[in-house]
Structure 1
Amino acid sequence: GDVLIALGSSGPHSNGYSLIRKILEVSNADLDQPMGDTTLANALMAPTRIYVKNLLQLIREVDVRALSHITGGGLPENIPRVLPSGTIAAIDTDSWSLPPVFQWLKDNGGVASEEMYRTFNCGIGMIVCVPANQKELALDTLKALGEHAWQVGLIERADNEGADACVRYAPGLLSA
């Protein structure tokens, strides 16, 4: 089977700013408050990561089956676009922690997890699908290129082979 590797984002990138503005308004946020190793303002305005150079290098070394840029629509709308029907992207939501800026948005906006995954990248800017037997090579290559990369899930067959591709959240999947 195939596995899904996540590449870390630099922040919200260009998505979710209508909701971000609303959360800032209702929370009366101090934009200068500490947020990880920066401020809330800087975390929200961090420039979007550009992955192309490192992904081109990865493609030279590994059989990359699919790439999904996590933009508007988050994980549930972007990943299925690159998968064949009859497949499910099983995402282990325990495989990473929400970066501080996303945890702040969730807490201060009272945003449910499902809505977070649909609106924001939640710390994942890109998903790379590779054969399971090339997972370690892919991770080693990405890490050598300076990427924060980890296995976030795997591809499963749906019961109905004609079903639209979809995402299934599976906490603990990879630690089982």
Structure 2
Amino acid sequence: MTIKQSASLTYRDAGVDIDAGDALVDRIKPLAAKTMRAGVMAGIGGFGALFEVPKRFNEPVLVSGTDGVGTKLRLAFEWQRHDTVGIDLVAMSVNDILVQGAEPLFFLDYFACGKLSVDTAASVVGGIAKGCELSNCALIGGETAEMPGMYPDGEYDLAGFAVGAVEKSLIIDGKSIVPGDVVLGLASSGAHSNGFSLLRKILEHAGAKPDQDLGGRPLADVVMEPTRIYVRSVLAALAEHGAAIKGLAHITGGGLLDNVPRILQPGLSARLQRDAWTMPSLFQWLQQNGGVADSEMHRVFNCGIGMVIVVPADQAQAVSATLASHGEQVYNLGNIVEQEPGMAQTVVV
């Protein structure tokens, strides 16, 4: 019996282009090289990346965080805005580990797609490298996964992982916060990477177009503005003011109402003044066009405040001045008070 020989199949026939993957690595290497810092022993190209904890730490505690970009990616696909979502990816993790006083050391990314577009992936990773530069964090490794049939053409998903270090004696845990302390807020750059399922619903409901005007800028530019990275300014304030910074809260999913309580002990509440800051035009537009209640706005979006810092009242001005000198817009949002019966741990009055 004669067995008929079929054509020899390749990985490319199955939808995976190894050559494209190699080309992407070649594009990524110079981007990652710009993020290198002391401590990197082996980066992109090996099976594992090596990093030596700086010897200036006496009792280093490693702090890690992981996150993605969420449904903001759907707008990146629709509007072909791939160059800034990488900054979002880095920002969400490094801002998270920053709140415990950690200095970000290195970052790894995961990029998954159905069919690899080298240009799109390189644009995304270019944003990741930019985010790492802004946070003095080494892009030390990552993974690109081409998985035919798992994602539609033109779409991808992102995940990131950051590791930082803090002296054990300098970990910020909010335990020293007491009534009378001042709550400072650092301005956000926009919606950052949270609340986009509701944001996209409002865009659809309003029939919004990416090129329409919003506060003197195209709506797409305002909506896709990358998440602000607070690492350099907050680390500078920590270096200058030390224990005066009692608590830090990254205002991510859950907004002001759910994130500030994460650093408060039972029996305490943050009373924020509604008129202490003006909601940026993006959030005003979203509230008006979506008919969103104030409480929902404060629980879903950052509403213009991306980081909260709790300090003693007599240190508030000095800490604010340091943060402002490093480029932050600082607001005095309110005070820490004793929690009354039935009172939430964060109230906006």
Pairwise CA distance, 1:164: 9.0
Pairwise CA distance, 1:158: 1.7
Whichever residue aligns with residue 9 of structure 1, its letter is S
Distance in 1 between residues matched to 2:323 and 2:255, nearest whole Å: 22
Q: Choose 1 or 2 for highest CA Rg.
A: 2
Paired residues, number: 168
Task: Find the residue that maps to 2:314 and give its secondary structure.
Answer: helix
Checking the alignment, whether the CA contact within 8 Å between 2:249 and 2:308 is kept in structure 1 is: yes
Pairwise CA distance, 1:19: 0.4
Checking the alignment, whether the CA contact within 8 Å between 1:84 and 1:165 is kept in structure 2 is: no
Distance change in 2, residues 1:90/1:164 (3 Å)? closer
Q: TM-score normalized by structure 2?
A: 0.47
Distance in 1 between residues matched to 2:219 and 2:299, nearest whole Å: 22
Gaps of at least 5 residues in structure 1 are 171-176
Task: Find the residue that maps to 2:201 and give its secondary structure.
Answer: helix
1:29 to 208, 223, 246: 208
Checking the alignment, whether the CA contact within 8 Å between 2:339 and 2:345 is kept in structure 1 is: no
Q: Which residue pairs with 2:193 in the alignment?
A: 14
Distance change in 2, residues 1:145/1:24 (3 Å)? same
Whichever residue aligns with residue 284 of structure 2, its letter is Q
Gaps of at least 5 residues in structure 2 are 1-179
Q: TM-score normalized by structure 1?
A: 0.91
Q: Which residue pairs with 1:50 in the alignment?
A: 229
Distance in 1 between residues matched to 2:313 and 2:236, nearest whole Å: 19
Distance in 1 between residues matched to 2:345 and 2:200, nearest whole Å: 29
Distance in 2 between residues matched to 1:49 and 1:159, nearest whole Å: 34
Checking the alignment, whether the CA contact within 8 Å between 1:15 and 1:119 is kept in structure 2 is: yes
Q: Which residue pairs with 2:35 in the alignment?
A: none
Distance change in 2, residues 1:152/1:31 (3 Å)? same
Task: Find the residue that maps to 1:48 and give its secondary structure.
Answer: coil
Moved segments of 4+, more than 2 Å: none
Residue 109 (str. 1) matches residue 290 (str. 2): yes
**Which structure is higher in RCO with an 8 Å CA cutoff and minimum separation 6?**
1
Pairwise CA distance, 1:165: 6.7
**Partner deviation per Cα, 1:35-81 (whole Å, 9 max, x = no partner):** 22422111110010110111011112221000000000000100000
The root-mean-square deviation of aligned C-alpha atoms, in Å, is 1.5
Checking the alignment, whether the CA contact within 8 Å between 1:16 and 1:119 is kept in structure 2 is: yes
Whichever residue aligns with residue 155 of structure 1, its letter is I
Q: Which moved more, 1:47-56 or 1:36-45?
A: 36-45
1:95 to 276, 300, 304: 276
Whichever residue aligns with residue 307 of structure 2, its letter is M
Checking the alignment, whether the CA contact within 8 Å between 2:185 and 2:307 is kept in structure 1 is: yes
Pairwise CA distance, 1:32: 1.3
2:345 to 145, 166, 170: 166
Q: Which residue pairs with 1:173 in the alignment?
A: none
Residue 80 (str. 1) matches residue 271 (str. 2): no
Q: Which residue pairs with 1:157 in the alignment?
A: 338
